[in-house]
Amino acid sequence: MKSAPRRRDIASVIGVPLTVAVVLGAQLLEGGAIRTLLQPTAALVVFGGTFAALLVSYPVGAVGGAVRAALRAFDAPAEPDEQLVKRLTEYASRARRQGVGALEAEIDVLHDPFLKRALELVVDGFRGPEVRRLLETDSETRELHDEEPADVLEAAAGYAPTLGILGAVLGLIHVMENLASPGRLGAGIAVAFVATVYGVGSANLLLLPLATKVRARARAEAVSREVVIEAISAIQLNTHPRLVEQHLSAFLRARRELQRGRVAA
């Protein structure tokens, strides 16, 4: 089975390069050179130190999962809300006309593992309360798993500025050691200030925004799973497709509004 084609999230694709462009543009407007911001020693202290701190704090798998989740933040959601409701309404219509066994053909072509499992439970003859309980447990577990990368990214955002300060202190120590050699003072001062830029900039322009995007994506997918659970329950009750569509649309709208309110808070 071929994997679903990836679509890009335009906001993320534009936003990340824009943050870099803003910093570089500010440097140029002040008459500075881009190469001044390229300090390998500062990068080693801030980025290498942040990565090492993450390895101390989290298992290797969690750190790798955070990297993968950050990269997936550039992908658009797998299925828009309207398309999901339409798909589930079609399932309800088919099940009402031909029985739930008619949904078996959809299982092999689905890319969504949660929806696939939901249809498998229905086709296999599990009763409504059992299906809801199993799917709710599965959804809660998936949400916890999907939000862990956001925790890792937020931790990295906490480490990076502190390591930027550490890099600044090391740079100033280098300056103090070379007071008798004016020609070497510039390099030490550059490392000191650039390390701070790396730490504060990476935390607030990259890591925290990515953590927010990953967490929001995890919660949005959790809402989509809730919609699937509601649809499956309606299908097992042989509910009219039009009522299924109206219920899912209203349920989804209410959950999205609640989710936006929580984000705003």
pLDDT at 5: 52
Q: Which amino acid, one-letter code, is at 258? A: L
Residue 99 region by backbone torsions, left for phi larger than 0, else alpha for psi between -120 and 50, else beta: left
Q: Where are the domains of the chain?
A: 38-264
The string of DSSP letters for the chain reads -PPPPP-B-HHHHHHHHHHHHHHHHHHHHTT--GGGG--HHHHIIIIIHHHHHHHHHS-HHHHHHHHHHHHHTTBPPSS-HHHHHHHHHHHHHHHHHH-GGGGHHHHTT---HHHHHHHHHHHTT--HHHHHHHHHHHHHHHHHHHHHHHHHHHHHHHHHHHHHHHHHHHHHHHHHHTTT-GGGHHHHHHHHHHHHHHHHHHIIIIIHHHHHHHHHHHHHHHHHHHHHHHHHHHHHTT--HHHHHHHHHHHHHHHHHHHHHHHH-
pLDDT digits (tens), the chain, 265 positions? 344 456 777 888 888 889 889 988 888 888 877 888 888 888 999 999 999 999 999 999 999 999 999 998 888 777 788 899 999 999 999 999 998 888 888 888 888 899 999 999 999 888 889 999 999 999 999 999 999 999 999 999 999 999 999 988 888 887 787 777 766 666 667 778 899 999 999 999 999 999 999 999 999 899 999 999 999 999 999 999 999 999 999 988 888 777 666 554 4
- Write the pLDDT tens digit of every residue in 6-22: 677 788 888 888 988 99
Please spell the DSSP secondary structure of 163-178, one letter per residue: HHHHHHHHHHHHHHHT
Residues 6+ apart with CB under 8 A from 210: 70, 73, 153
pLDDT in tens, 202-244: 999 999 999 999 999 999 899 999 999 999 999 999 999 999 9
Specify the pLDDT at position 120: 93
The pLDDT score that the predictor gives to residue 43 is 93
Query: What pLDDT does 31 receive?
Result: 82
